[in-house]
Amino acid sequence: MQTSNGVKATAQANANIALVKYWGKRNKELILPHNGSISMTCEGLFTITTVEFSDRYERDLIIINDEELKIEEDKSSSLPFAGARVKDEKDILGHLERIKKIAGIKEKVKVVSKSNFPVAAGLASSASGLAAITLAATKAAGLNLNQKELSILARQGSGSACRSIFGGFVEWLKGKKEDGSDSYARPIADENYWPEFRIIVSILTEKKKKVGSRAGMAQTIETCPYYDGWLKTVEDDLRIIREGILKKDFTAVGSQTEYNCLKMHALMLTTKPAIIYWLPTTMEVIHNVVSWRENGLECYFTIDAGPQVKIICLKKDVPEIKKRLKNIEGIKRIIVSKSGKGVRLIDKPRT
């Protein structure tokens, strides 16, 4: 790791949507997953984050989408850094402390972060947010990390963020080592490889979800009787989707993505208490997608830890699917995304 004298840096990262989901941690502190996952980095769903370390600041300040994140003392934390902690699910200040420790700096931090899509509503906002903050903060702290190092570090902020370091189709290798040094993302194919592939995001609500993915995963591991079945079959999902991407076999990728999503939601539904992310409109979109497909319009759905339905389709079918989605009551917004670039530094914030 080379160092230089960075002070302030801005990074832009795209969100990613998982085709094979990450669900469950074998190590909560280092964020090591029980299973590998595959995602598409999504063009147009992004977060821009500026990080500045300075001794001019008397306290840490984190502003996300124009709102200051409340920072409180958390003496109960088992993590190895002292002082104030951000009491949010993703512990953003803890992530910044981690980066400060690596860089050997002690200054206070100011973070300004903005996403162009609903945050914490099952739209992978933590992936783009933590990927952007990782690159901006390491640069500002004077570290020059390569993509693998960035992925390992971003993973410790939020698991799915390790995939947003790369563009295109990306696989997060679960790894075996206890220190997490072999648990990082790597590209399967870059953002220009499969230009016809699209994900249509239908946003049903912009409200924050009640159960975050972090808590939901922990609850699954503790209480779901079917988690073993997930682990036994996920390797097949990974292989089929990895090979499907490389062969551009849309049917293989779409159908296995839908199946993997339903398996993950089956876990969520069978925890105690049950975690039910779906709204009535979520079901409505699911049934429509299945019936459109039966009638020759090939598309598949996937859903993360929230109610939004993401529809996987080919470019030629986007206008027809958008037209049909507009007829479903309860859909607030539609965003069409193709595969986009990995995280990068930018000169100045653009919103």
* Of 6 and 260, CB closest to ligand DP6: 260
Which residues neighbour 312 within 8 Å (Cβ) at sequence distance 6 or greater? 19, 197, 198, 199, 253, 254, 257, 258, 299, 300, 301, 302
Place of tokens 């390491």: 138
CA–CA gap between residue 3 and residue 13 (Å, rounded): 22
Catalogue the E-assigned strands of 21-149.
25-27, 32-33, 37-54, 61-64, 67-68, 71-73, 84-86, 108-115, 143-144
* Of 7 and 262, CB closest to ligand DP6: 262
Strands 8-20 and 37-54: antiparallel
* Of 142 and 157, CB closest to ligand DP6: 157
Shortest Å distance, C-beta 58 to ligand DP6:
29
Shortest Å distance, C-beta 183 to ligand DP6:
11
**3-state secondary structure at position 322:** helix
* Of 53 and 169, CB closest to ligand DP6: 169
Cα-flanking dihedrals φ and ψ of residue 62, to 5°?
-125, 120
Using the Cα atoms of residue 295, residue 296, residue 302 and residue 303 in order, give the sign of their dihedral.
negative
* Of 42 and 189, CB closest to ligand DP6: 42
* Of 112 and 305, CB closest to ligand DP6: 305
Shortest Å distance, C-beta 326 to ligand DP6:
26
Shortest Å distance, C-beta 172 to ligand DP6:
8
Shortest Å distance, C-beta 207 to ligand DP6:
17
Shortest Å distance, C-beta 59 to ligand DP6:
25
Q: Angle at the Cα of 208 (from 203 to 209), degrees rounded to 5? A: 90
* Of 90 and 110, CB closest to ligand DP6: 90
Shortest Å distance, C-beta 16 to ligand DP6:
7
Paired with 50 in beta bridges are 10, 112
DSSP 206-221: -SPPSS-HHHHHHHHH
Which positions touch ligand DP6 (CB under 6 A)? Answer: 18, 21-22, 31, 37, 90, 124, 126, 158-160, 213-214, 304-305
